[in-house]
Each structure stands twice: as structure tokens, then as C-alpha cells.
């Protein structure tokens, strides 16, 4: 699926009745469209949504900017953004172009983590394309508010596995540390997801380029102050990757936004919150 950028094509899948209101799900850092559990997707479809999932640039089957090389993320975080090939705004423009190419009007948009940043930027830059905004475990300014806890940064600095089995084990270990173990971890699904994602596409350089976009992008709070669509902000009280202050700052920035904080929830979407999440997103869309 082409976007407005001649150099970017996104791989897209739609589920449900195309005549229903579109709900665009935007995955987080390094995650492919496989991230969205089929049962959660089906729950949204059951509420009448036409659910659109896609791979962001640099992951999955969408365009990978290999020629851009690997930016220095730490330099970008300190303001050295010259070598950063794109920003969150560019990823939001990809989504707007995708919606236009699909012939869709305003869509309900739900983004998680990095995907929440993209969703926020989409609402700022392309308000006519957004019918409602749900920002899930995200932040408008990751270097200023909602910053990761020290143990998360330490993990990021450690060498990353490159084998299929190593990545599967690292994914489960990360979920135990940073997810919602007190609400239940579906470890068989996590293993299946990590293995399927590796088989479909393994590109750590692309994932690094996405992270550079996160740290190099400007604070979205001034733009969010102008967002006029119904907005829901969801966060976990125990999120160590994007701490709860990120969600609070997002909700504070958007006029009239509703903030929902789940106790014992970390940086994932545990099955225990699915019914409430689906109900809240459906209510926001008037379903």
C-alpha cells in the first residue's frame, strides 16, 4: 500500500466489514502488525469496526530504509539529529497517506507506545483523518516525561540476541520484567509472536532507526493542545518503559481527554484489560 511518500510503502491488512467505521491499530517500537492478538482484533470487529493493521516503516513487510544506515541514538538524544533519517511526524504522514490510498475518511486511531506517539502526531498534523484518538502507554515527550526506569535502560544497553531462540527467550524475559505478570502473562502466545515476527522479518537496524525517531522528535504537547477529537489515554500504573507520567502528560495536553489508569499493568496489553479497553474505544467512537 503506497503512502504519500514515493519511497515508502506500507504492508496493510484489514479485518471486518469494510463499510464499518475504520479503526487503525498502530503498533509500537519494533513491533509488526502480528503484535495485535487476533482475539483482541476480533473483539473490535464484533463492535462493528473495520480494523486496519499495518507494518510501520522499517519493520515487517513495509519499506526498510537500509540506505540510511544506523543512526547514533544516544547522539540523537543529546540533540545531534543530523543523521536521523526520519521523525515521528514522517511516520504519521505514512498513516495519513495509507488512509488516503485506501479511500478511507476519518478513522478511529489507537496507537501503543511508539504507535501512540504516531497517533498523537497524526491527530496534530492530519486532524481531518482522525475521528477519535486512543493513546495507549505512550508519552508526548519521551526524554522529558514518562522516561524509562533505570533498569529498562540498562537492559537496552545490554547486547541483544540475534538468534531465533535467543529472541524468543528475551521477549518472554522482558514481558516478565516490564509487562503485567500480576495480571497474567500468556507466555505461549509471547513465544509464538516472537518466533513468527523473527521468521517474517528480522531487521535490528530498522528498529534502531525507529528508536532514533522517538528520541529526536520534538515535544508534541503544544500540538496536542489544539487536538479537538474525542481522546482516550490509557496507561498502566506499573509501566517501567513509559512511566505513568507520560500518560498523565498526554491527557493533560489534550483538551477534554479521558485518562484511564490500570493498576498492576505494565508495558503491554494484558488480556485482563481487553473488555474494558474495547468498551472504552467503542464508547469513544459511539459504538
Count of domains forming the chain? 1
Q: Is residue 165 part of a domain?
A: no
| pLDDT values of the chain reduced to their tens digit, one per residue, 287 residues | 656 566 899 999 999 999 999 999 999 999 999 999 999 999 999 999 999 999 999 999 999 999 999 998 888 888 877 889 999 999 999 999 999 999 998 999 999 999 999 999 999 999 999 999 999 999 999 999 999 998 888 888 788 899 999 999 999 999 999 999 999 999 999 999 999 999 999 999 999 999 999 999 999 999 999 999 999 999 999 999 999 999 999 999 999 999 999 999 999 999 999 999 999 999 999 87
Q: What was the pLDDT predicted at 78? A: 84
Structural domain includes residue 50: yes
> What's the domain range around 279?
12-147+204-284
Burial 59-85 (b: 16+ CB within 10 A, else e): bbebbbeeebeebebebbbeeebeebb
Does 277 map to a domain? yes
Cell of 249: 502528560
Is 168 inside any structural domain? no
Q: What gap in Å lies between CA 240 and CA 248, rounded to an integer? A: 14
> pLDDT value at position 6?
65
4 within some domain: no
pTM of the model: 0.96
Q: Closest Cα partner for 54 from 17, 5, 6, 91?
A: 91
Per-residue pLDDT at 15: 98
Domain-located, residue 183: no
The answer to whether residue 88 sits within a structural domain is yes
Per-residue confidence (pLDDT) for residue 118, from 0 to 100: 98
Instruction: Identify the DSSP state of 181.
Output: G
44 within some domain = yes
CATH number at residue 138: 3.40.50.1820
Amino acid at each position: 500500500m503506497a503512502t504519500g511518500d514515493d519511497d515508502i510503502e506500507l504492508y496493510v491488512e484489514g479485518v471486518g466489514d469494510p463499510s464499518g467505521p475504520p479503526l487503525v491499530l498502530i503498533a509500537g517500537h519494533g513491533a509488526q502488525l502480528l503484535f495485535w492478538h487476533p482475539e483482541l482484533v476480533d473483539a473490535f470487529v464484533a463492535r462493528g469496526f473495520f480494523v486496519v493493521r499495518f507494518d510501520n516503516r522499517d519493520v515487517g513487510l513495509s519499506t526498510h530504509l537500509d540506505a540510511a544506515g544506523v543512526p547514533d541514538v544516544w547522539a540523537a538524544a543529546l540533540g545531534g539529529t543530523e543523521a536521523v533519517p526520519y521523525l515521528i511526524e514522517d511516520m504519521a504522514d505514512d498513516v495519513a497517506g495509507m488512509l488516503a490510498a485506501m479511500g478511507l475518511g476519518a478513522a478511529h486511531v489507537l496507537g501503543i507506545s511508539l504507535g501512540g506517539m504516531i497517533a498523537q502526531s497524526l491527530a496534530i498534523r492530519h486532524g481531518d483523518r482522525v475521528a477519535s484518538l486512543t493513546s495507549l502507554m505512550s508519552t508526548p515527550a519521551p526524554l522529558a516525561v514518562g522516561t524509562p526506569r533505570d533498569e529498562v535502560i540498562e537492559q537496552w544497553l545490554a547486547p541483544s540476541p540475534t538468534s531465533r531462540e535467543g529472541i524468543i527467550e528475551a521477549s518472554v524475559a522482558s514481558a516478565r520484567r516490564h509487562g503485567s505478570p500480576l495480571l497474567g502473562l500468556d507466555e505461549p502466545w509471547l513465544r509464538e509472536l516472537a518466533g513468527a515476527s523473527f521468521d517474517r522479518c528480522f531487521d535490528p537496524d530498522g528498529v534502531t532507526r525507529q528508536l532514533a525517531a522517538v528520541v529526536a522528535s520534538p515535544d508534541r504537547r503544544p500540538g496536542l493542545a489544539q487536538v479537538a477529537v474525542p481522546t482516550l489515554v490509557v496507561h498502566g500504573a506499573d509501566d517501567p518503559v513509559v512511566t505513568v507520567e507520560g500518560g498523565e502528560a498526554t491527557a493533560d495536553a489534550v483538551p477534554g481527554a479521558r485518562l484511564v489508569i490500570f493498576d498492576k499493568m505494565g508495558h503491554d496489553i494484558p488480556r485482563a484489560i481487553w473488555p474494558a479497553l474495547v468498551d472504552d474505544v467503542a464508547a469513544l467512537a459511539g459504538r
